[in-house]
Amino acid sequence: MIRLTENEALKGRHTLGVQAYSRYFLETNKLNELFDFKTSHEALWSHHLIIGEGSNLLFKSDYPGLIIHPLPLGIKVINNENDYVIIEAGAAENWDYLVDWTVNQGFAGLENLSLIPGSVGAAPVQNIGAYGAEAKDFITEVLVGDLNNNTSFWVQADKCKFGYRDSIFKQKEQSDWLVWKVRFKLYLDGRTNQRYQGLKKQLKDMLNPGIKEVRQAIKSLRTSKLPDPKETGNAGSFFKNPIISDPQANELLSIYPDLPVYPCDKPDHMKLAAAWLIEQCGLKGHRRNDAGIYPKQALVLVNYGNATGEQLFELAAYIQNTVQQKFEIKLEPEVRIV
């Protein structure tokens, strides 16, 4: 089914809730129909954007081209072994719905990623992560539709080039790849991941907490620190945690002994807490009209109601400049700015 509209309002199509419009907006649940539509409407495809639930998007202004939005395809088990299962989910499924479904089925793995806003399709693109887990830990393969040549194929996990909030799907060369389905390997042995210190503290009084208890603890942690996009417009963490060289990290530690530093996958480099850097600049809770920094988490930019995309963009630039001046570190947006 193809549904095409003109001048589609986007305020309810992304979690920052900025008022913007798309020149054309297309929804579909059939990849082959999308390919056929592209062949017969080539003129619409000169400027296009693929979105899910828009949980990682900031529209600075109206979108002048075509937005493509997949529709839900469901969730199913495709392989069930003695100690693990392989499940398949459509890209348009709500991410937290998938996590809840897996936990209720007794499939372990995704519970640490509870309440991350967005769709399943965003998980491999962004390599979403939180509380000691990342999507790459469980993804086995991703079905993509190549809108450049109207073909579809599976990309194995080891070819996805997963990194910190990064993947092959974010590269310019793959900008015409539409994530259509994602497969995950989950476990039947009830294993839990309690590496994150805040989670350990949350569960310390429980005897042998299972995946349901972990999910509930993660939900409590997130809701205590992060705003609900349904109530206050936001896109979660707006900036990536910066990765800097060991010498640079050591130099900063000599000046700021309380600077949080963490190991990362890049040799001879450390990861810093972007929220700490922003807080040290005195920006936590800073507000300009309806564009602001969340008072409980400095990494989250919020729309208090009527902020424009340009106002949020200007606030993000102000944060970047202020952190750059104080620490000589350039924060990179995690959110895609369109």
Average pLDDT value for residue range 313-331? 97
Query: Is residue 236 a contact partner of residue 117, using CB atoms and an 8 Å limit?
Result: yes
Band (266; pLDDT cuts 50, 70, 90): confident
Fold exhibited by the domain 75-225 = 3.30.465
User: CATH 3.30.465.10 spans which residues of the chain?
Assistant: 75-225
Band (262; pLDDT cuts 50, 70, 90): confident
* Active-site residue flag, 119: no
Which of 93, 134, 165, 167 is the catalytic position? 165
pLDDT tens readout for residues 118-147: 999 999 999 999 999 999 999 999 999 999
User: CATH 3.30.43.10 spans which residues of the chain?
Assistant: 2-70
Query: Is residue 169 a contact partner of residue 125, using CB atoms and an 8 Å limit?
Result: yes
Which of 8, 88, 134, 334 is the catalytic position? 334
The CATH number of 233-337, from 3.40.50.300, 3.90.78.10, 3.40.47.10, 3.40.50.880, is 3.90.78.10
- Angstrom distance (rounded) from CA 182 to CA 88: 6
- Angstrom distance (rounded) from CA 224 to CA 286: 19
User: CATH 3.90.78.10 spans which residues of the chain?
Assistant: 233-337
Percentage of the chain with pLDDT > 90? 79
pLDDT tens readout for residues 193-212: 888 788 878 877 777 888 99
Among candidate residues 150, 205, 157, 198, the one with its CA nearest the CA of residue 176: 150
Residues in the chain: 338
Say yes or no: domain 2-70 is CATH 3.30.43.10: yes
The predicted model scores a pTM of: 0.88
Which of 22, 55, 119, 237 is the catalytic position? 237
pLDDT tens readout for residues 38-92: 999 988 888 899 999 999 999 999 999 999 999 999 999 999 888 999 999 999 9
User: Would you list the DSSP string of 181-229?
Assistant: EEEEEEESS------SHHHHHHHTTSSS--HHHHHHHHHHHHHHHS--T
* Active-site residue flag, 213: no
* Active-site residue flag, 237: yes
